[in-house]
Chains A and B, each alone.
Chain A
Amino acid sequence: MLQFSFSKKLLIWAVCAIGILMAAPNLFYTSVEQSNDAEATLATGVPATPELTAIAGQWPAWMPSALVNLGLDLRGGAHLLAEVQVEDVYAERIDSYWPEVRDALRAERVTIGTIRRQDGADTDLRVRISKPEAMDTALAKVRALASPVASLSNVGATDIDVSAEGADIIVRLSEAERLATDQRTMAQSLEIIRRRVDEAGTREPTIQRQGDRRVLIQVPGIGSAEELKELIGKTAKLTFHPVLSRTSDPDTRVQSRQILLPDAQDQGLFYVLEKTATITGDHLVDAQPSFDQNNQAAISFRLNPTGGRVFGEYTASNIGQAFAIVLDEEVLSAPTIQSHIPGGSGIITGQFDVAESTKLAIQLRAGALPAKVVYLEERTIGPELGQDSIDAGALACIVAFITVLIFMVLSYGLFGVFANIALIINVGLIFGLLSMIGATLTLPGIAGIVLTIGMAVDANVLVFERIREELKGGKNPVRAIELGYERAFSAIIDANITTLIAAVILFVMGSGPVRGFAITLGLGIVTSVFTAIWVTRLVISIYMERRRPKEIEV
């Protein structure tokens, strides 16, 4: 029992050494972090300046350089949980079927009569035919437009549901198509949020999809959740519409396929516009902050070839007419077309300041969010509070650690020292593992480490108490130690597995800081069992071999 084969000894020491080596960079957190950043900058191909090389050299390249990630509550930053209003997209999707439906029905004019699009719920496409008796023919024609949806769960499903209501044909998105649309909307939203956050140059943002329609955004180092929200900002949906009239009455009734939108600055001004946009933000290839001829902040834009052609044709045939530049349901400006604008570039004026035009240009360049986002949860932690938490947590850790060390020596003497060696290695292993798996350390996570320090000695205590009992029973030292380990084993395993069960459930069910706690608690259990069973025993075995004491006192 007390004899270790050479290979086993080597394995135990190797595990300890690797763990502590992995943990080492965390002792020099700031300089390692700077060095890592500098190396990352160099890796992007930036020419090496002496300063950069010097910073990169702060930490030797042959040492492991993975650090424990600090959670938002320790580093400071902002956290947002956003929900994407995926339904927003349904109206647009169904709208895009209109030309097809119209053309298909027009071909059957003789049997079904004239057709007219009706206003209805946004998610429906409603078409009235003047000869309702031919409804079956009309339905068959529209149904023929349906195409299959590629999805795993709905084999054979098509994209639209077509039904009749009196003289109206109603086209809706099918359930399968809605799911597929949701998936696309989420993927796009995620991508665009990521681009917008990245454009602002913040470091290590976390942008994750959660569940069906949520996005978790965590950005360390940013001042507040409000700032982050402004960065992600508006939908930034840019469209150009022909202007039909201006009015000051917000209750103006508009005809079907027209919309009434307010002016962005002028409180009492409203525009009646054609609902269908001439140009949309999808045609945009570039947007930059710039200035207009009056030196006012503005945004210059460039359209792709298709957009440029449409814009050119439209301006050529509508000289003298006004068109509205609409951003997120507000009219930024409504200039009158002076001349044909070829080439597809132009400038958007409005009452911006430079900061706004810069932000808006970023958002336009990153692309419009396909749907609105609503924020369900937002948290801001100031960097000072984070630093305070680190300091407080570190102090508590150290005090707890030293007190437990002293307490163990007082209670178990030399064996207490053995347990302490294991405890020190244990903490090293926890940090090593945390760095290795790239886990995130949170404030509750620090609490988990402190708790582990308290509980880690438990396995050793179990063994030592057992050894005492065996010694009292008249066994010789070696035999007592062997029996102590043997008999305490099942209690150690059972007791730790039950705690591990709780930690695993916390990890699976928890989120954010709670999850951080579960990680350190779980790792702490594993490492404390390892150190108690192998490391302490190995140390005791070495002691017994070297000294061969006739009597031991535990």
Chain B
Amino acid sequence: MRLKLVPSDTSLDFFKLSKMTLGASALAMIASVVLFFMIGLNYGIDFKGGTTIRTDAQNPVDIVAYRAALEPLGLGDVSITQVIDPAAQLTGATSNVSQIRIEAQEGAEAATVETIKAVKNALIEVDPTMSFPQIDSVGPKVSGELIQTAVIAVVLAISAVLFYIWLRFEWQFSVGAVAALVHDVVLTIGVFSLLQIKFDLAIIAALLTIVGYSLNDTVVVFDRVRENLRKYKAKPLKDVLNQSINETLSRTVMTSVTTLIALISLFVLGGDVIHGFVFAMIWGVIVGTYSSVFVASAILLRLGVKRDWDKIDDGRAGTQFANIDA
């Protein structure tokens, strides 16, 4: 008996509700943009500058006492959060880890040795068992550059992909794919604004992976569309799209599930250091799978595809340079 996530033969109509799904996507994107401007991202020190100190102690984390100890140092904005590790909770291990963030100090690039020593001493007075397994400090100069590089990287990745798809398919496919990508990236930024998860360099890496993954999915559907367009020359585009999505549905679900299995085990067991990063990717896989069907294909349907290519060339509709054979 085989495990089947999707019945062998499906003939769902993915475009019956396309007005609604496209509308919902548009709405979610607007909401994300609003959230981004209203609440904003919780930038980590990579992008904002400042210092983070990870503390680890035998006694439970006491945020109030920590705060009181740091108050007299006059460090400006200080945020203290307890770090919760789901793996530790599962095994019942005690974890008394907190993350302290101090804003970039006036006049100094990275934190000075004195500042860090003062903070350490103040905290050790509160709890002598405390150790400091991780200290990061980034100056405002570098953080500004990091933001710039990150934005360039994302834009570059999306344009490169736009170009590749245009090369391999037609421009309508390219627009559909990129719309799906922008959709995924915008929604991810929206979720990070809403949940105030720390947004640092690793999240940019996750964003680019989402771009890659979402595209992977979209391309597989499009590849089938391209093939079916050749096969069924008279079939309406909507039916061709529906058929292609149905045919690839089993694969889409399988791959999403195996990837999610891997990511969820990483989320639960991989330690809190990469939580935000893995969360972004889990979110990206879900949104990316959704968008390849409900955004990329729906837009392709609205843009239409030139169907009479084969009259001019050798019957390879929906393609420009797709002469790859196994």
B126 is an interface residue with CB less than 8 A from chain A: no
Residue numbers in A under 8 Å from B168 (CB-CB): 494
Which residues from 246 to 287 on chain B have a C-beta closer than 8 Å to any C-beta of chain A?
247-248, 250-251, 254-255, 257-263, 265-266, 268-271, 273-274, 277-278, 281
In Å, the complex CA distance between A465 and B87 comes to: 35
Return chain A residues, CB-CB under 8 Å to B37. none
Does B109 have its Cβ within 8 Å of any Cβ on chain A?
yes
Interface status of B42 (Cβ within 8 A of chain A): no
The CA of A472 and the CA of B54, in the complex, are separated in Å by 58
A502 to B208, Cβ gap below 8 A?
A: yes
Please judge, given known A-B contacts A496-B216, A501-B157, A502-B209, whether A379 and B136 are in contact too, CB under 8 Å: yes
**A453 within 8 Å of B by Cβ?**
yes
Interface 1/0 per residue, A485-506 and B, CB below 8 Å: 1110111011111111111011
Interface residues of A in 341-395 (CB under 8 A from B): 374-382, 384-385, 388-389, 392-393, 395
Whether the pair A502, B251 counts as a contact (CB closer than 8 A) is no
B residues within 8 A CB of A510?
153, 201, 204-205
A377 and B137 within 8 A (CB): yes
Min CB distance B260 to A, Å, is 7
Looking at the assembled complex, report how far the CB atom of B212 sits from the nearest CB atom of chain A, in whole angstroms: 4
Is A14 an interface residue when CB atoms closer than 8 A count as contact?
no
B195 at the interface (CB under 8 A from A): no
Q: Is the CB of B270 within 8 A of A392?
A: yes
Contact string, A274-317, partner B, CB cutoff 8 A, digits 1/0?
00000000000000000000000000000000000000000000
| Chain B contact residues: helix, strand, loop or mixed | helix
Q: State the CA gap A411–B2 with chains docked (Å).
A: 5
Q: Is A518 an interface residue (CB 8 A)?
A: yes
A376 touches B141 (CB 8 A): yes
B251 touches A462 (CB 8 A): yes
**Please, what's the 1-or-0 string for B148-168, where 1 marks a CB less than 8 Å from any CB in chain A?**
011011001100110011001
- The contact size tier of chain B is 35 or more
Q: Among residues 1 to 27 in chain B, which have CB atoms less than 8 Å away from a CB atom of chain A? A: 2-5, 8
Least CB distance from B204 to A in Å reads 7
Across-interface contacts of A461 in B (CB, < 8 A): 251, 254-255, 258
Contact A505 B265 (CB under 8 A): no
Residues of B within 8 A of A506 (CB): 153, 157, 205, 208
Asked if B110 is at the interface of the complex by the 8 Å CB criterion, the answer is yes
Q: A457-B255, A502-B157 are in contact. Are A494 and B223 (CB under 8 A)?
A: yes
Q: Are A489 and B281 in contact (CB under 8 A)?
A: no
Chain B residues near A83: list those with CB within 8 A: 109, 141
Which of B62-70, B233-241, B306-314, B318-326 sits within the interface?
A: B318-326
**When A and B form their complex, what is the total count of cross-chain residue pairs whose Cβ atoms lie within 8 Å?**
241
Contacting residue for B205 out of A396, A457, A486, A514, CB 8 A: A514
Provide the bound-state CA to CA distance between A100 and B33, in Å: 65
Cα of A446 to Cα of B138 in the assembled complex, Å: 24
Binds A, one of B71-79, B127-135, B186-194, B294-302: B127-135
Interface 9-residue window, one of A63-71, A91-99, A397-405? A397-405
B243 to chain A, nearest CB (A): 12
Residue B215 at the A interface, CB < 8 A? yes
Q: Which of B42-68 contact A (CB under 8 A)?
A: 54
A residues within 8 A CB of B224? 491
Is the CB–CB distance between A517 and B205 below 8 Å? yes
Bound CA span A462–B257, Å: 14
Which residue in chain A gives the minimum CB-CB distance to B51? A378
A395 touches B223 (CB 8 A): no
On whether A382 and B131 interact (CB within 8 A), knowing A225-B137, A502-B161, the answer reads: yes
Interface residues of A in 402-428 (CB under 8 A from B): 403-404, 407-408, 410-413
A273 interface contact, C-beta 8 A: no
B138 touches A377 (CB 8 A): yes
In the complex the two chains form, what is the Cα distance from A511 to B146 in whole Å?
10
* B residues less than 8 Å from A509 (CB atoms): 149-150, 152-153, 156
Chain A residues with CB under 8 A of B213 = 455, 499
On whether the beta carbons of B133 and A384 are closer than 8 Å, the reply is yes
Q: Given A501-B160, A513-B202, A514-B204, do A451 and B262 touch, yes or no (CB 8 Å)?
A: yes
Alpha-carbon distance between A468 and B205 when the two chains are bound, in angstroms: 36
Compute how far the CA of A499 lies from the CA of B219 in the bound complex, rounded to whole angstroms: 10
In contact, B205 and A489 (Cβ under 8 angstroms):
no
Closest A residue to B270 by CB, please name it. Answer: A396
Chain A: CB-nearest residue to B271? A392
CA distance A489 to B323 in the complex (A): 11
Taking a contact as CB atoms closer than 8 A, the residue among A73, A399, A491 that contacts B223 in the complex is: A491
A385:B134 contact, CB within 8 angstroms: yes
Among B202, B212, B220, point to the contact of A514 (Cβ < 8 A).
B202
When the two chains form their complex, are residues A379 and B135 in contact, meaning their CB atoms are under 8 A apart?
yes
**A513 near B201 (CB under 8 angstroms)?**
yes
Given that A377-B110, A378-B110, A495-B216 are known contacts, is A505 also in contact with B261, CB under 8 Å in the complex?
A: no
Across the interface, which residues of A come within 8 angstroms of B157, CB to CB? Answer: 501-502, 505-506
Whole-angstrom CA separation of A494 from B141 in the bound complex: 39
Give bound CA distance, A54 to B47, whole Å. 49
Chain A residues in 8 Å Cβ range of B266: 396, 400, 447, 450
Q: How far is the CA of A388 from the CA of B271 in the complex (A)?
A: 8
B38 at the interface (CB under 8 A from A): no
CA distance A450 to B269 in the complex (A): 12
**What residues of B have a CB within 8 angstroms of the CB of A392 in the complex?**
87, 269-271
A396–B325 alpha-carbon span in the complex (Å)? 38
Does B139 have its Cβ within 8 Å of any Cβ on chain A?
A: yes
Would you list which residues of chain A between 168 and 221 have a CB under 8 Å from chain B? none
Indicate if the CB atoms of A444 and B277 lie closer than 8 Å. Answer: yes
In the complex, are the beta carbons of A451 and B2 less than 8 A apart? Answer: no
Asked if A81 is at the interface (CB within 8 A of a chain B CB), the reply is: yes
**Chain A min CB distance to B118 (Å):** 12
Additional pairs, 19, CB under 8 Å, beyond known A451-B281, A461-B254, A502-B209: A83-B109, A376-B139, A379-B135, A384-B133, A396-B265, A396-B268, A410-B2, A457-B258, A458-B216, A462-B220, A462-B251, A465-B254, A489-B324, A499-B213, A500-B212, A502-B208, A503-B212, A514-B204, A521-B209
12 A-B pairs (CB sep. < 8 Å): A73-B273, A83-B109, A375-B109, A377-B138, A389-B273, A396-B269, A400-B262, A404-B258, A407-B3, A455-B259, A465-B248, A499-B216
A-B complex: 7 closest residue pairs judged by Cβ atoms: A454-B262, A382-B133, A502-B212, A454-B259, A392-B271, A489-B326, A499-B212
